[in-house]
Amino acid sequence: MHGLDPDVARILDGMRRNKTPALSTQPIEAARRTYDKGLRLLDLAPDPGVAVRDLPPDPAADHLQIREYLPAQRSPGALGGLLWFHGGGYCVGSIETSDIVCRMFAARCGVPVYSVGYRLAPEHPFPAAVDDALRAYRRVLPQLCGGATSSQRVAVGGDSAGGTLAAVVSLLAPEADLPPPAAQVLVYPGTIGHRPSASKERYAEGHFLTLSDVDWFYRNYTRGRDLDDDPRFAPIAARNLRAQPRSLIIAAQCDPLADDARAYADALASAGNEVQHEVFPGMIHGFFNMGGVVPAALEAHAVAIRFLTDAMPHPAAGVA
């Protein structure tokens, strides 16, 4: 295995000893249970100083779950907040699997965080997750903006498939007559679809997320359709990447999707956007949710917190 961090190597060794099956080898419900259990074992302890509630269902879309996280102490003068989409390849994961990360963001950024439980494949294939992501953004935008129409203190973010959904919300917001977010945090997003890359070849096996897993997720989500030229699936395919939000893209070195992150960071920068691309050496896909056992996850959290604090200016900075 290539250049793994020792803490990560111990996790992978434990998975091999326990004969943990790859997600792509399991029935979908079993894969969901495996994913949920693994995150609970590896993540931080939940921050108890955050008020949590589920928003009432939207009568027009009662399947859509949105959970609100309010910090015990708001940052002085801070407005807006963060809309977060969980990872899981569009097939696994939930509001529950991103609960600890959302508590962390709320407590340490001092702003409200809203977590989205979108519909999952294969029961609900593309574009169900995209539709739900835009619907959630539309619903919480007035709350994040304090009732105003400006979105200049609103960020979107997510990890893995959730990072892709956050990028897609930023791309599609103007087309949906919605103000775009001011910032986006994309943690190892998938951005190039099925296109080949060096990282997909190099880290295809043995680094937690396998290329077979990626293909399985995409096959379930797209029902085998070729969507690589649809920016709702592969954001790199967007014809116009100008005027995108200020972006933080976090990548893991030992990840089949490492080049997805790099390609999108380069494309955004080439289109004139402000981009911060951070690659964490020796890390694997999923490390952002391993803060209980992987210190580098805490470093990644700190990078994201600094970025969000800088990206969402306070009223004193003159932003309406």
**46-68 tens-digit pLDDT:** 999 999 999 998 888 889 999 99
CB 80 within 8 A of CB 113: no
Contacts of residue 72, defined as CB under 8 A and 6 or more positions apart, other chains included, come to 49, 50, 51, 107
Model confidence at 76: pLDDT above 50 = yes
Which residues sit opposite 184 in a β-bridge? Answer: 156, 247
pLDDT of 75 reads 67
E-only strand ranges, 198-274: 246-254
Report the pLDDT averaged over residues 258-279.
98
Q: Based on the residue annotation, tell me whether 160 is a catalytic residue of this protein.
A: yes
pLDDT of 317 reads 40
Model confidence at 145: pLDDT above 80 = no
Report the pLDDT averaged over residues 277-304.
97
Residue 43, helix vs strand vs coil: coil
Q: Of 277, 316, 312, 306, nearest to 182 (Cα)?
A: 312
Helix H or strand E encompassing 104: helix 99-109
Report the pLDDT averaged over residues 119-126.
98
pLDDT of 38 reads 87
Tell which wins on pLDDT, 254 or 41. 254
Q: Distance (Å, rounded) from C-alpha 30 to C-alpha 14? A: 19
Q: Distance (Å, rounded) from C-alpha 109 to C-alpha 311? A: 11
Looking at residue 159, its amino acid is: D
How far CA 70 is from CA of 8, 48, 150, in Å, comes to 32, 11, 21
Q: How confident is the model at residue 265 (pLDDT cuts 50, 70, 90)?
A: very high
Q: Based on the residue annotation, tell me whether 285 is a catalytic residue of this protein.
A: yes
Set 132, 255, 259, 260: catalytic member: 255
Range with lowest mean pLDDT among 1-15, 117-131, 233-247, 257-271: 1-15
pLDDT tens digits, 79-98: 589 999 999 999 999 999 99
pLDDT of 51 reads 96
Set 115, 160, 199, 247: catalytic member: 160
Indicate the pTM of the whole model.
Answer: 0.95
The CATH fold of domain 6-311:
Rossmann fold (3.40.50)
Q: Based on the residue annotation, tell me whether 255 is a catalytic residue of this protein.
A: yes
Helix 161-172 crosses helix 128-144 at what angle (to 10 degrees)? 70
User: Can you list the alpha helix ranges (DSSP code H) found in 227-320?
Assistant: 258-270, 295-311
* Spans of all domains in the chain: 6-311
Note if the bond before 122 is cis, omega within 30 degrees.
yes
Percent of the chain exceeding pLDDT 70 equals 93
Give the up-direction half-sphere exposure of residue 229: CA atoms within 13 A in the CB hemisphere. Answer: 1
Model confidence at 314: pLDDT above 60 = no
Relative to beta strand 50-54, strand 65-71 is antiparallel
Q: Distance (Å, rounded) from C-alpha 305 to C-alpha 104? A: 9
Residue 83, helix vs strand vs coil: strand
Place of tokens 């589920």: 54
pLDDT of 149 reads 44
Between vectors from CA 264 to CA 117 and to CA 111, what angle results, nearest 5°? 45
Set 86, 170, 199, 285: catalytic member: 285
Mean pLDDT, all residues of the chain: 92
Report the pLDDT averaged over residues 228-238.
98
Q: What is the DSSP letter of 11?
A: H
Q: How confident is the model at residue 166 (pLDDT cuts 50, 70, 90)?
A: very high
